[in-house]
Structure 1
Amino acid sequence: MEFDFQWLLLGLPLAFGLGWLASRLDLRQWRREQQSSPKAYFKGLNLLLNEQQDKAIDAFIEAVQHDPDTSDLHFALGNLFRRRGEYERAVRVHEHLLGRGDLPRAERERAQYALAQDFLKAGLFDRAEAAYRSLESTAFATEARLALLTLYERSRDWPAAIETATRLEATGAGSFAQRIAHYHCELAQEAEARGDTDAAEQALTRARQAAPQAARPIVMIGERLARQGRHDEALAAWAELMAVQPAAFGLVAPSYAISARAAGLVDEARTRLESLYAQAPSAELLKARLELASDGIERRRLLVEHLERLASITAAASLVDESLRQDSVLERAELLSVQKAIAAAARPLQRYRCAACGFEAQHYFWQCPGCQGWDSYPPRHIDEL
């Protein structure tokens, strides 16, 4: 049978027309889908910027329904749920993402990290730890270890915190020496509480090795030696603290004075305390100097000198107490020092405070400059409320 070329001439235009029509229909459908999804997305973004989170969530859900394969919309929706405290819904969104077989590796790691954040915010620490640990050897490894470090600190799992901080430092995430020293000090405190003195001493030694310049291990070593009656060694430890962390010495200054008196090294201690006090006077250094003062007259002199340098209400109260203890009246210079300290302490209280927002002002306002409320200022100073 011979082939009729007329049919071919008729079929070609027909096939072309059907193909064109099908492509136009598919193109229109694709355009409608693409237009509806961004429209819902931008609507949700606008609502979110206007602090209308409920409506924003509805808009994002609509966008996800129009384009369920768009992972960015899922992440936005999950983050919104987490910010609102709806952790269960956030978990479902991110678990749905992880359940998709076509999700690229980078997006899968991102979803795993978001899921770990959901668990942490929800207080599901065991599941959060497992989720963060699964991010080892991924782009989120450093962020996961930092989150784990915070998690271990909250749960007071100091050995795990030490291991994690050490790994972070080894990977170049920064210096964690100070924090590692704190973790060992926490272990030392726990050992002391259960009576394990050897473990406490070992933990403090490791703390010093981790951060030789850290103040806390030296403070704790000196306090431990003082409790054991080894005052000479305690003074030596605290002398090192004076050299490496003089600003932190105030934490142990009164104890230093007590140990110096017990060890019979009062004169040496007074010289050191006077030197530190001349550089940076403080209430704790003053307290230590008062502990080593020879008599009440010297204590009153030290208090007056301190009040001349710093208008401290604590020092003023101590001067009054010293006067009562000696059953003597304050001299004029002492009274002036006390008056100066009281005036300085009272000055911040001689203000008006808005009962609505807490805005403080020296002058009385009928309308609060902070919250714009009317008659929100009680007509009394703060010290009278």
Structure 2
Amino acid sequence: MLVEFEYWWLLILPLFFTLGWIAARVDIKQLIAESTSLPATYFKGLNLLIADQYHKAVDAFSEALYLNKDSLELHFVLGSLFRRTGETDRAIHLHMNLLENYELTEQQSTSIKVELAQDYFKAGLYDRAEELFLTLRHTRYEQAALRHLLEIYVKEREWSQAIAIAAELERSSGVSYRKEVAQYYCELAMNAIIQQDWASAKGHLDQALDANKNCVRANVLLGDMAAQQEEHAAAIAFWKRIEMQSPEYLGLVAQKMLKSYISLSDAHSPGNGGEMPKGLKEGLAQLNQYLETYQLSSIMSVLYEATLQAEGADKAAKLARNELIRKPSLKSLDQLLQARAMVDDQQHDLQLMQQTVRNAIGDRAAYYCDQCGFRAKQYHWQCPACNAWESLPPEPTEATIRDIKLLKRK
């Protein structure tokens, strides 16, 4: 079926084209007017930002703001630049001046409070920052405010508040904070352990495991607490749980576990007929099993020293030789040379070789943060540099000279 063509449509089409052309011209004129109203220093500032010349960009945007004092956008850009360049006092003054001397809508006022709260946070004025961020909890800036509040409470070691905010942030964002919450409970437990409040400490550690069943630190602390109370069988049982969580952390408790095994033996009965005490024997067997299964260098170090003391240089040398064959490293070579020097006729030559190896090893073995590269000689559950939790691997790394140079450049 054909549709009858209406000739009067031909009169309307040119009208549509004319209206579209007029609208386009109006938009172009408006765009030109807006761009020409911006100071030239504004575009200069943008170019400096692109070139990462922040201090020069501050001067350019300051001049632009002087020429266009009513531009909130310029205030925000300049305030952000002040924070970036460390001039937080100027950022605070800038945003407080806006709140006190300008007529603002509620949305504009809220946006400026966000900026001012960040100024206080950057300046380390956490009480003032906290007060402002708390007022932003039920605004469109809620998630950003909660993240800042969480960071404030962690920095100030206010672990109960951190737990509450983390739970609120998890509900708001849908992102899990279970790992962090478990660590906060462990921090509360540490405070209780210092005060020897064992019941409170255990309660916090149980809560840590409820929050994150794979929280290794909770079982480490439960074992430490039991050992302090001379409950060595319980301590060993807690530390053994780590194998089911993350076996790579077993090296952190190997020495403690061996001591508790030894403590389980009768201290006055070194064994029948001079034999090795039962507890020490069981402890060495347990560590040997872990070494065979997981091949952790930290367990090897504990096992080597214990074997050297309990069974002599020959046994220790055999252990070091087997480890050197299975997993060659300068550390294992050093251990082998040390043990052989105790029994070999060429003692002086072996000691010289051992000293050469130790000079080559130096202090390279360390823990390196996965997030920021921070180097630590001891394990930290929280990186001292970037404050990330569980970012240091549980096994120390023997960094090469090239690795150390790269880390120093960072």
TM-score, normalised to structure 1, is 0.73
Kindly indicate whether the alpha-carbon contact (under 8 Å) linking 1:311 and 1:344 is maintained by their aligned counterparts in 2.
no
The one-letter code matched in structure 2 to 1:113 is: V
The one-letter code matched in structure 2 to 1:212 is: K
Matched, 1:295 2:311: yes
Structure 2 match to 1:120: 121
Structure 2 match to 1:273: 287
Tell me the distance in 2 between the aligned counterparts of 1:317 and 1:54: 53
Structure 2 match to 1:156: 157
Structure 2 match to 1:136: 137
Tell me the distance in 1 between the aligned counterparts of 2:76 and 2:153: 27
For residues 175-254 of structure 1, what are the structure 2 equivalents within 5 Å? Answer: 175-254=176-255
Provide closer, same or farther for how the CA distance between residues 37 and 111 of structure 1 changes in structure 2, counting only shifts above 3 A: same
The superposition leaves residues 174-202 of structure 1 with CA deviations (integer Å, 9 ceiling, x where unpaired) of: 11111111111112212222232232222
The superposition leaves residues 34-57 of structure 1 with CA deviations (integer Å, 9 ceiling, x where unpaired) of: 624243311221233344444433
Kindly indicate whether the alpha-carbon contact (under 8 Å) linking 1:145 and 1:168 is maintained by their aligned counterparts in 2.
yes
For residues 1-385 of structure 1, what are the structure 2 equivalents within 5 Å? Answer: 35-99=36-100, 102-263=103-264, 264-266=278-280, 268-290=282-304, 293=307, 295-296=311-312, 297-324=314-341, 326-329=342-345, 345=361
Kindly indicate whether the alpha-carbon contact (under 8 Å) linking 1:221 and 1:234 is maintained by their aligned counterparts in 2.
yes
Kindly indicate whether the alpha-carbon contact (under 8 Å) linking 1:219 and 1:252 is maintained by their aligned counterparts in 2.
yes
Tell me the distance in 2 between the aligned counterparts of 1:55 and 1:166: 42
Provide closer, same or farther for how the CA distance between residues 107 and 201 of structure 1 changes in structure 2, counting only shifts above 3 A: same
Kindly indicate whether the alpha-carbon contact (under 8 Å) linking 2:334 and 2:358 is maintained by their aligned counterparts in 1.
no
Kindly indicate whether the alpha-carbon contact (under 8 Å) linking 1:208 and 1:214 is maintained by their aligned counterparts in 2.
yes
Tell me the distance in 1 between the aligned counterparts of 2:193 and 2:94: 47
Provide closer, same or farther for how the CA distance between residues 359 and 119 of structure 1 changes in structure 2, counting only shifts above 3 A: closer
Kindly indicate whether the alpha-carbon contact (under 8 Å) linking 2:39 and 2:67 is maintained by their aligned counterparts in 1.
no
Provide closer, same or farther for how the CA distance between residues 268 and 171 of structure 1 changes in structure 2, counting only shifts above 3 A: farther
The superposition leaves residues 203-236 of structure 1 with CA deviations (integer Å, 9 ceiling, x where unpaired) of: 2222222212110000111111122221111111
Tell me the distance in 2 between the aligned counterparts of 1:245 and 1:284: 15
The superposition leaves residues 247-276 of structure 1 with CA deviations (integer Å, 9 ceiling, x where unpaired) of: 111100121122223334555544443333
Deviation at 1:322, TM superposition (A): 3.5
Provide closer, same or farther for how the CA distance between residues 61 and 163 of structure 1 changes in structure 2, counting only shifts above 3 A: same
Tell me the distance in 2 between the aligned counterparts of 1:340 and 1:278: 29
Tell me the distance in 1 between the aligned counterparts of 2:346 and 2:208: 49
Structure 2 match to 1:12: none
Query: Secondary structure, in 3 states, of the residue corresponding to 1:171?
Result: helix
Aligned-residue Cα RMSD (Å) equals 3.6
Kindly indicate whether the alpha-carbon contact (under 8 Å) linking 2:179 and 2:212 is maintained by their aligned counterparts in 1.
yes
Deviation at 1:350, TM superposition (A): 8.4
Greater Cα shift, 176-185 or 89-98: 89-98
The one-letter code matched in structure 1 to 2:321 is: V
The one-letter code matched in structure 1 to 2:315 is: E
- Paired residues in the alignment total 325
Greater Cα shift, 251-260 or 50-59: 50-59
Tell me the distance in 1 between the aligned counterparts of 2:247 and 2:340: 32
Query: Secondary structure, in 3 states, of the residue corresponding to 1:120?
Result: helix
Kindly indicate whether the alpha-carbon contact (under 8 Å) linking 1:218 and 1:237 is maintained by their aligned counterparts in 2.
yes
Provide closer, same or farther for how the CA distance between residues 312 and 38 of structure 1 changes in structure 2, counting only shifts above 3 A: same
Gaps of 5+ in 2: 1-31, 265-277, 365-398
The one-letter code matched in structure 2 to 1:261 is: I
Deviation at 1:277, TM superposition (A): 1.7
Tell me the distance in 2 between the aligned counterparts of 1:134 and 1:278: 56
Greater Cα shift, 277-286 or 226-235: 277-286
Gaps of 5+ in 1: 1-30, 361-369, 371-385
Deviation at 1:100, TM superposition (A): 5.9
The one-letter code matched in structure 2 to 1:89 is: R
Tell me the distance in 2 between the aligned counterparts of 1:132 and 1:100: 22
Deviation at 1:119, TM superposition (A): 0.6
The superposition leaves residues 256-305 of structure 1 with CA deviations (integer Å, 9 ceiling, x where unpaired) of: 12222333455554444333322332232113433654511222211122
Tell me the distance in 1 between the aligned counterparts of 2:56 and 2:301: 61
Tell me the distance in 2 between the aligned counterparts of 1:344 and 1:194: 44
Deviation at 1:59, TM superposition (A): 2.7
The superposition leaves residues 39-86 of structure 1 with CA deviations (integer Å, 9 ceiling, x where unpaired) of: 331122123334444443333233223333321111011111111111
TM-score, normalised to structure 2, is 0.69
Greater Cα shift, 101-110 or 129-138: 101-110
Tell me the distance in 2 between the aligned counterparts of 1:182 and 1:328: 50
Kindly indicate whether the alpha-carbon contact (under 8 Å) linking 1:254 and 1:287 is maintained by their aligned counterparts in 2.
no
